[in-house]
């Protein structure tokens, strides 16, 4: 099977996707979700993921004062996100780790606008469309927020703690069995 693909009993080839809804807490749903977290794992044809995310974004928009951007990753990209955490590789405690998923990979010029010393004791590493964060004083005390990333990078950012990131990875892996 190809990248991120799984065969169903019908013989159709599908891809598992992870969708992170920004500013949304969802309850029970017809797809597999982490309850009240704004995280969805679903299967669709490989070329349908973006269209499904765009349709969901449009449906979730609740007027001019509410926008719920969606960061989408295929299952392989999500598992690479988990495997590639440089802070874990350096021995960091997973309880202080987070990942921000961006709507696109930022340009080098935009990345250069990020201030490494903005939030003392906190650290970040940008890899493609993902930002790994180490926040030893907690996300609430950090100045490395989604709003800051969005303002500096000019693209949507949605952050998750490492516990949620790994739970979503487990959901992706379970669909491959």
Residue 18, φ and ψ in degrees, nearest 5: -115, 125
The pLDDT value given to residue 62: 64
Listing DSSP states for 33-64 in one string gives EETTTTEEEEEE-TTTHHHHHHHHHHHH--ST
- 123 strand-pairing partners: 134
Structural domains in the chain, sorted by start: 5-78 (3.30.70), 80-164 (3.30.70)
pTM over 0.85, yes/no: no
Lowest mean pLDDT among 26-30, 72-76, 117-121, 169-173: 26-30
Contacts of 146 (CB under 8 A, 6+ apart): 22, 100, 157, 158, 159
pLDDT digits (tens, 9 = 90+) for 118-128: 999 999 999 99
Residue length of the chain: 177
pLDDT higher than threshold 70 for residue 26:
no
pLDDT higher than threshold 80 for residue 11:
no
91-to-123, 139, 152 alpha-carbon distances in Å: 14, 19, 29
Contacts of 71 (CB under 8 A, 6+ apart): 19, 20, 22, 101, 102, 103, 156, 157, 158
């Amino acid at each position: 099977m190809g990248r991120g693909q799984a065969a169903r009993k019908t013989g159709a080839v599908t891809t598992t996707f992870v969708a992170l809804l920004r500013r949304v807490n969802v309850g029970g749903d017809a797809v597999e979700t982490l309850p009240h977290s704004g995280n969805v794992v679903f299967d669709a044809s490989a070329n349908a993921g973006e269209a499904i995310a765009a349709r969901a974004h449009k449906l979730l928009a609740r007027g001019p004062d509410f926008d719920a951007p969606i960061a989408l990753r295929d299952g392989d990209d999500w598992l690479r996100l988990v495997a590639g955490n440089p802070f874990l590789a350096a021995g960091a405690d997973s309880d202080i780790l987070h990942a921000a998923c961006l709507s696109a990979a930022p340009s080098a010029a935009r990345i250069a606008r990020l201030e490494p010393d903005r939030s003392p004791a906190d650290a970040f590493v940008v890899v493609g469309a993902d930002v790994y964060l180490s926040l030893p004083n907690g996300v609430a005390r950090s100045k490395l927020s989604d709003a800051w990333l969005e303002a500096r990078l000019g693209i949507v950012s949605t952050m998750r703690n490492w516990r949620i990131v790994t739970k979503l990875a487990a959901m992706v892996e379970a669909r491959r069995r």
